[in-house]
């Protein structure tokens, strides 16, 4: 996987190492394809102590490899940085907290980007990115 190359290099460039645990975390997040909470990351996995998981997620975040997203339920979520996965959005269930990745049509995305750029410029904001999430009830929660 080219992903690990990238990761190793980025860490090395600041004197850090791409250890087994770090690779493992990257794998977990890559495989999941959705933002995971720490409990979800750790649950059912051996030799992945909480403190190490937290520390390494933070490490990977400052290396720009993963992104931490605050969430309403008290548990932050972690996902691969968009630089690695491509830009995307989220569809989240406000009842059960489930999150899934979502891509929106490129034309809309482009228009969004253009418009937001203008608005940001007007407000004197620099280097803007956006975050767009859908919040609703998933099939399971919606049918109750």
Could you say whether residue 31 binds a copy of itself (CB under 8 A)?
Answer: no
Could you say whether residue 81 binds a copy of itself (CB under 8 A)?
Answer: no
Least distance in angstroms from the C-beta of 52 to DNA: 3
Least distance in angstroms from the C-beta of 71 to a copy of itself: 6
Rounded CA-CA distance 21/49 in Å is 10
Least distance in angstroms from the C-beta of 80 to DNA: 17
| 8 Å CB contact between 79 and 87 | no
Pairing state between β 89-93 and 66-69: unpaired
Least distance in angstroms from the C-beta of 95 to DNA: 17
Segment near a copy of itself (CB under 8 A); pick from 1-9, 12-20, 49-57, 117-125: 117-125
Residue 136, burial from CB neighbour count under 10 angstroms (0-12, 13-18, 19+): exposed
Question: Residue 69 forms beta bridges with which residues?
Answer: 77
| 8 Å CB contact between 79 and 29 | yes
Instruction: Report residue 51 as tokens.
Output: 């403190």
Among 19, 50, 62, 115, binds a copy of itself (CB under 8 A): 115
- The footprint of a copy of itself (CB under 8 A) covers 68, 70-72, 91, 93, 100, 102, 104-105, 108, 111-112, 115-116, 119-120, 123-139, 142
């Amino acid at each position: 996987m080219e992903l690990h190359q990238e990761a190793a290099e980025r860490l090395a460039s600041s004197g850090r190492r791409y250890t087994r645990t770090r690779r493992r975390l990257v794998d977990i997040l890559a495989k999941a394809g959705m933002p995971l909470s720490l409990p979800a990351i750790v649950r059912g996995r051996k030799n992945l102590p909480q403190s190490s998981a937290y520390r390494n997620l933070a490490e990977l975040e400052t290396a720009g490899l993963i992104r931490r997203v605050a969430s309403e339920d008290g548990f932050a979520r972690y996902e691969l940085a968009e630089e690695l996965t491509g830009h995307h959005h989220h569809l989240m269930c406000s009842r059960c907290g489930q999150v899934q990745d979502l891509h929106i049509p490129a034309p809309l995305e482009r228009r969004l980007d253009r418009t937001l750029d203008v608005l940001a410029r007007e407000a004197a904001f620099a280097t803007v990115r956006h975050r767009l999430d859908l919040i609703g009830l998933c099939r399971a929660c919606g049918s109750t």
